[in-house]
Structure 1
């Protein structure tokens, strides 16, 4: 499973970070999924290895502009790139009206089927390789998190056991995988005796803007990966003249530690934390780390992370320029 961050800034773009967008890919899949689509996401894609033609579904966490203003441009460019495969968009109530207006008023002829699904809290959806549940968050408008449960692998054959009987890989393996009895050397082989235990699917949450990470409650317990906003440090938040409903590094770290989250990636970073400021990103990292003892990353634009089936996460890096043919190697 691979995650590519296309935008990691809060509220507005900066020279270092664009606004929210995150790509998710599953093993042995020829498509990918986009979570949020802030302004200029299509520009970010041009600098990545991801192809719009393989984009299958877009999920929008909430209707603040830095999370979905990039949709009209991306939808139009998909047409111009002759990518005419069906695209599905899942978003809160109002996303359909926005797209009907922004695409319709320009008399845009998309040339492909666009499915728009408006969800509410608690809705569940099933996809090729995973299921997804919509969870409520606490923000100034309705905002949501997506709890993603990858399908378990249940058809792994015990090749070692079969080879011990003198059975080499053949069509017989496929029959056993399909649950059919087979005969070999006058012996009846029962499928259940030659199947390995199911491999549990990975579990992750990709959250939108949220002031109370603890609202995710039991879904966080022993979670393989949490991707969550971290807009402020506690000191910065305490000194704001007007309080905005976002998470602090202290609260995020405390909640992740309490719920024994295995891996944490923080994003949606306030622009004040930058390389030219006396408050660089290390301030955010260190505050989370004071509370959270698990594996922690602060996402930057174009960071790529790989989560394996043992819930071990690695940051990957690009070798050479970012293009459709660029390689990715382990960092």
Structure 2
């Protein structure tokens, strides 16, 4: 699977980073998934290798503007580009009223089917390649994480072994995959003898804004990939006059140190960490690594990461 970061800033866009948006693409699927849609996301998509025409589903973590103000523009751009494929949006309660108001007041007639599903924390949704569960987080506004568990592949035949018997691909292959015994040249073949080991599906969490990473609890155990906000280093957060419900690098590292999370991509970086400032994202990296021993990346806009079947992740 491939993750394309379209926006990695916290709160507002900067000259270096746009606000929250992330594209997820799965192998052998023509459509891709968008997680959050901060303002300007449609332009970020245009500058990436992702295609408007292949966007099938959008998931919104919560109703703070830097995570969903880009939706009206994205919907209108899709219409203006003449893309008529349907689109589904999953969001918290209120997302329907927001979009209906924006479309009505602007007299935008989409010309394609738009389905809006308002989820509740704790709900699960079944997709062709994975199950998605909505997990509650701790933030100033109701915010969630999306836990994605890819389906295990359990129906792979050992075709080389079958061909060695002289059995070429045929309807008998389908019967074996369904767990049925078959007869070939007078011999009864049992499915268990001709099946390859299952391929265990990958697991990942894409989290919205959250002040308490540990709230994800058991879902962090042996997780293949966590995408989580890391807005501040602890020293900067401690000096804030007005405290906000966001995660610090120290808190994130401490929450993951005993959980077995294999890979972490941190994003949602406060604008004060930039190339012109004495505060650098390496400070965030170093603070997380003080506790966390897994593989770590601090995402920047247009970073693309690939997570393979063995859960090895690399930046492309």
Bucket of the pairwise TM-score, normalised by the shorter protein: over 0.9
Q: Map 1:23-102; keep pairs closer than 5 Å.
A: 23-102=23-102
CA distance in 2, matches of 1:173, 1:302: 43
CA distance in 1, matches of 2:70, 2:213: 26
Contact residue 181 and residue 189 of structure 1 kept, 8 A: yes
Q: Map 1:1-331; keep pairs closer than 5 Å.
A: 1-316=1-316
For residue 43 of structure 1, give the secondary structure of its aligned residue in structure 2.
Answer: helix
CA distance in 2, matches of 1:160, 1:263: 35
Q: TM-score, normalised by structure 2?
A: 0.97
Which whole-Å deviations, capped at 9, do the CAs of 1:272-293 have from their partners, x for residues lacking one? 1111111111111011011101
| Structure 1 unaligned blocks of 5 or more | 317-331
The offset of 1:188, in angstroms, is 2.1
For residue 69 of structure 2, give the secondary structure of its aligned residue in structure 1.
Answer: coil
CA distance in 1, matches of 2:203, 2:215: 17
Q: Which moved more, 1:183-192 or 1:105-114?
A: 183-192
Contact residue 121 and residue 135 of structure 1 kept, 8 A: yes
CA distance in 2, matches of 1:29, 1:180: 29
Contact residue 153 and residue 199 of structure 1 kept, 8 A: yes
| Structure 2 unaligned blocks of 5 or more | none
RMSD over aligned CA atoms reads 1.2
CA distance in 2, matches of 1:251, 1:29: 36
CA distance in 1, matches of 2:59, 2:245: 21
CA distance in 1, matches of 2:82, 2:156: 38
The offset of 1:179, in angstroms, is 3.6
Q: Which moved more, 1:164-173 or 1:302-311?
A: 164-173
Contact residue 34 and residue 55 of structure 1 kept, 8 A: yes
The offset of 1:91, in angstroms, is 0.5
Q: Which moved more, 1:162-171 or 1:14-23?
A: 162-171
CA distance in 2, matches of 1:152, 1:250: 34
For residue 282 of structure 2, give the secondary structure of its aligned residue in structure 1.
Answer: helix
Q: Which moved more, 1:120-129 or 1:158-167?
A: 158-167
For residue 309 of structure 2, give the secondary structure of its aligned residue in structure 1.
Answer: coil
Contact residue 256 and residue 264 of structure 1 kept, 8 A: no
Contact residue 21 and residue 36 of structure 1 kept, 8 A: yes
Which whole-Å deviations, capped at 9, do the CAs of 1:135-173 have from their partners, x for residues lacking one? 000000100000001111111111232233233445543
Q: TM-score, normalised by structure 1?
A: 0.93
CA distance in 2, matches of 1:176, 1:17: 52
CA distance in 1, matches of 2:44, 2:182: 52
The offset of 1:190, in angstroms, is 2.3
Count of paired positions: 316
